[in-house]
Amino acid sequence: MRSVWALAAIAALSVLTASTTTLAGEPKQGGILRMYHRDSPGNASIHEGATYSLNVPFMPVFNNLVIYKQDEAQNRMDNIIPELAESWAWVNDNKTLAFKLRQGVKWHDGKPFTAADVKCTFDMLMGKAPQKFRQNPRKSWYEQVNDISTNGDLEVSFNLKRPQPSLLALLASGYTPVYPCHVSPGDMRTHPIGTGPFKFVEFKANESIKLTRNPDYWRKGRPYLDGIEFTIIPNRSTAILAFVAGKFDMAFPTEVSIPLLKDVKSQAPNAVCVVEPNNVATNIIVNSSAPPFDNIDIRRAMALSLDRKAFISIMFEGQGDVGGTMLPPPNGLWGMPKEMLETIPGYGPDINANRDEARKLMQKAGYGPDKHLAVKVSTRNIPVYRDPAVILIDQLKSIYIDGELDVVETANWFPKIARKDYMLGLNLTGNAVDDPDQSFYENYSCGSERNYTNYCNKEIEKLFDVQSQETDVAKRRKMVWDIDKKLQEDVARPIIFHARTGSCWQPYVKGVTVMSNSSYNGYRYEDVWMDK
Amino acid sequence: MFAYLVRRLFLMLVTLFGISVVIFFLLRIVPGNIVDILFAAAGYVDPADKANLEKELGIDRPLVVQYWHWISGFLRGDFGYSYVSEKPALQEILPRIPITARLAGLALLFSASIGIPLGVISAVKQGTRLDYALRVVSLSGLSLPSFWLGLLILTASVAMFNQMPIFNPNPATWLEAFATYAVPAAAVGFRSAALTMRITRSSMLEVLRQDYIRTARAKGASDAAVNYKHALKNAILPVITVIGIEAAFLIGGLIVTETVFNIPGVARFLVEAIRWRDYPIVQNLVMLIAVVVVSANFIVDMLYAVFDPRIRYTD
């Protein structure tokens, strides 16, 4: 307990240090920001990836039409600011989102940026362009977009099938850069061309990624840094030691785990570290198309057996959040309030009572002290997956379920899930944008490729659409809470916890803001500078 | 001797052909391919997109066709393109080879220069405290995994000197270059040094009991002359053989050491390529290693015949 308080004090002090030091002094120009990178991304094309191993190093190369303010930790609709768009407006009964574009913006190869580039990018994302992405993981984001129309070089409109206010939030994600028409998707994978504050120099797989300052950046005086160099160090111990020894100015964002944070602070007391939720939910995927989990009683019993606080206590020394599908408040904008959450079966504070109820359900299904249910708990062979899976197996014992860990290599994970060759799976779901449209449609809508459990409830599907069109945020929030509650009661994809992770940098690095409700949207780095 | 040479050359080609078949088909037996991994990174699987990508990479074609495409390209020096980086495979492989070669060479040097003298001392001082101490050192060398030793070195250097020996791709001075390789080479070479030491010690002990050693002492030869001129010269052959075998085994230790010290060498690259199922990289790299090992074996066998008068190869 003492260690939890000590860690909380360190984190609070770090946040205080971060905010005060960021405010101190005038920004200085120059310097190469040296950062380690946790893993070699497959390629450099943000639109084809779904991991922040990719968008952390390449987001500085690009601009979006709009972006979440990079110096505010919480992504909100009211802190979306223009980038390649100068302004926007909802017209045509909120069925058209019209943008006026910035004049005089150039791609890194000197060619002019125009509205045609915006059309090209989104046509490709919607699968309507002659050129195709090899992979297109966020195609579902644009399902309500009928087409994109341009008016000259500086006006572009998104014409929707029905109003979807959250489209602007999706366009502000780090995953939504504008690509140039004149560069092929293949070239964007190996040598990306953007309009952003930094130009791509080199990507050596498993070795390094180098970016240099874009001297012609449209935002005058930015960026402050001369460049950014990422050294790829997959071994986390080596990377942290190198950061502690001062070889790097920054640790890879959100990659310092809570237990490791204490080591960093003890070995490098001057380092500035912040702990934030990363909007990655650890959850259980259930194969409800085959016995035994086709029985709703067994699914509910499993949900009732969960002691979520125990997971957070063991894995994160108490630093984590209990919630439903949406990230809980205060960092999350759409998560249910605690009182409402605790009315959902399995979320109540009395774990013993929950488990008594779970055992009754198991007995109803024919299991008991003398007849245990044997299940395999499949998960990826990565500690953040494996560790909670082990705790889950331990907790399931309390309701007559004997779990066996089935560790699956990453290459086989999605094919295995897709062919329904599993009983229970321990899964991690990262939400790119803290918005229900992203989470609900991607993970719970019928037929979505990322709906791994094939959960399909037509009634809830209708509610997805109703909330999606609602422009009154307060009203929409209440709808979202009700939907989230239903998803948990249906045991669609039981959420165990929402993780928090640490980000650290040296005290002379200024202007860094770690997003508090997303892991994917805060890496433009044009306001970052070094006081040395 | 000429017929033997021809026969060995023929066997060498057969071996390499066998290796190429084994590598190719073993890689295909491993579940999952590059497309599965790319989709895992993208977090979804779309059967149509997947099929398109498999076609684009040519991994939808019959295995025999794929094998012929690869092996004929390899023989022409066309190594194809990396599936991951989309750059020519040769361009990805070649710059990494000297890094690992330097590291391996230094590790072997470390192994021999530490292991042989300490092994001799341990044998000569058999049963003394020094011998026991050296045996503990060699036992620890065999017991400590190189990744653990590497991390121990890194942790100690940060804790004691606040320094971290991170790989420097462009060393300005000779000293910097040495510093880049010396510490990881010591970490990986320690196990090898321990083995060399044990083999040297036991080989020396056996030789020191021989009659000709007793004769040399009886004739009044000094201890140094007996130990180093007479005994070591005769005890060294098994040691050299072990060092040769160790050179082949070194690749395993180098994978770990390159990971821990973050050295962008060929060993770590190979593991990463296997993780991604980057067939063009894995196949060509393993074949290159196989060519080197098989050729080295061939040359060593030939050298045995040349230098050891007791060994004579006949048809």
Per-residue pLDDT tens over the stretch A134-181 = 999 999 899 999 999 999 999 999 999 999 999 999 999 999 999 999
Interface test with A, best of B151, B258, B262, B279 (most A CBs within 10 A): B262
pLDDT reported for residue B309: 59
| Cβ-Cβ contacts under 8 Å for B22 (sequence gap 6 or more) | none
Q: Rounded to a whole number, what is the distance in Å from the CA of B144 to chain A's nearest CA?
A: 18
pLDDT tens-digit series, residues A440-456? 999 999 988 888 888 99
CB contact under 8 A, B84 and A48: no
pLDDT tens for residues A474-520?
A: 999 999 999 999 999 999 999 999 999 999 999 999 999 999 999 99
Average confidence score pLDDT of chain A? 92
Best CA proximity match to B284, nearest among B72, B110, B101, B86 = B72
Residues of B with CB under 8 A from a CB of A: 31-33, 36-46, 49, 52-53, 56, 82, 84-87, 92, 151, 154-155, 157-159, 162-164, 166, 259-262, 264, 268-269, 272, 276-277
pLDDT tens sequence across A286-320: 998 889 999 999 999 999 999 999 999 999 999 99
Cα distance between residue A200 and residue A22, in whole Å: 27
CB A116 within 8 A of CB A181: yes
User: Quick check: helix, strand or coil at residue A447?
Assistant: coil
A93: its two tokens: 């009964």
- Please judge whether A412 and B41 are an interchain contact, meaning their C-beta atoms are less than 8 angstroms apart: no
Non-local CB neighbours of B259 within 8 Å, separated by 6+ positions: A234, A235, A238, B147, B268, B271
Return the HEC string of chain B. Answer: CHHHHHHHHHHHHHHHHHHHHHHHHHHHHCCCCHHHHHHHHHCCCCHHHHHHHHHHHCCCCCHHHHHHHHHHHHHHCCCCECCCCCCEHHHHHHHHHHHHHHHHHHHHHHHHHHHHHHHHHHHHCCCCHHHHHHHHHHHHHHHCCHHHHHHHHHHHHHHHHCCCCCCCCCCCCHHHHHHHHHHHHHHHHHHHHHHHHHHHHHHHHHHHCCHHHHHHHHCCCCHHHHHHHHHHHHHHHHHHHHHHHHHHHHHHHHHHHHHHCCCCCHHHHHHHHHHHCCHHHHHHHHHHHHHHHHHHHHHHHHHHHHHCCCCCCCC
Q: Work out the angle between the directed axes of helices B2-29 and B63-76 (0-180°, nearest 10).
A: 130
pLDDT grade, residue A17 (50/70/90)? very low
* Chain A: closest CA distance from residue B44 (Å): 6
**What interhelical angle do B266-276 and B279-307 show, nearest 10?**
140
Q: Are A269 and A504 in contact (CB under 8 A)?
A: no
Furthest-apart CA atoms within chain A: distance in Å: 75
Q: Which residue has the higher pLDDT, A119 or B314?
A: A119
ipTM of the complex: 0.83
A369: pLDDT strictly greater than 90: yes
Dump the DSSP string for A30-90.
--EEEEEESS--S-S-GGG--SHHHHHHHGGG---SEEE-TT-SS--GGGEEESSEEEEEE
Rounded CA-CA distance A49/A133 in Å is: 10
> Cis link prior to B309 (omega < 30° from 0)?
no
* pLDDT of the residue at A19: 42
Compare CB distances from A190 to B40, B85, B92 and report the shortest one's residue: B85
A/B interface, count of CB pairs below 8 Å: 121
Q: Do A135 and B159 touch (CB under 8 A)?
A: no
Euclidean distance between CA atoms A235 and A117, whole angstroms: 39
Minimum distance, in Å, between the CA of residue B154 and any CA atom of chain A: 7
| A250-276 exposure pattern, b = at least 16 Cβ within 10 A, e = fewer | bbbbbbbbbebbbebbebbeebbbbbb
Positive or negative, the CA dihedral B173, B178, B184, B187 is negative
Whether pLDDT at A250 is above 90: yes
Q: Looking at residue A498, what is its pLDDT?
A: 97
Residue A342 and residue A501 in contact, taking contact as beta carbons nearer than 8 Å = no
Contacts of B170 in chain A (CB under 8 A): none
All residues at 6 or more sequence positions from A331 whose CB lies less than 8 Å from its CB, including other chains = A74, A276, A277, A321, A516, A517
Q: Residue A243 belongs to what H/E stretch? A: helix A236-244
Residue A40 contacts residue B273 (beta carbons within 8 Å): no
* Residue B9 in this model has a pLDDT that exceeds 80: yes
Quick one: pLDDT at residue A202? 96
- Nearest CA distance, A27 vs chain B (angstrom): 29
Contact present, A344 and A382 (Cβ < 8 Å): no
Residues in chain A: 532
Average pLDDT over residues B104-128: 92
Among candidates A525, A19, A281, A308, which has minimal Cα distance to A11?
A19
State the average pLDDT for chain B. Answer: 87
User: Which pLDDT belongs to residue A187?
Assistant: 96
Q: Is the pLDDT of residue A20 over 70?
A: no
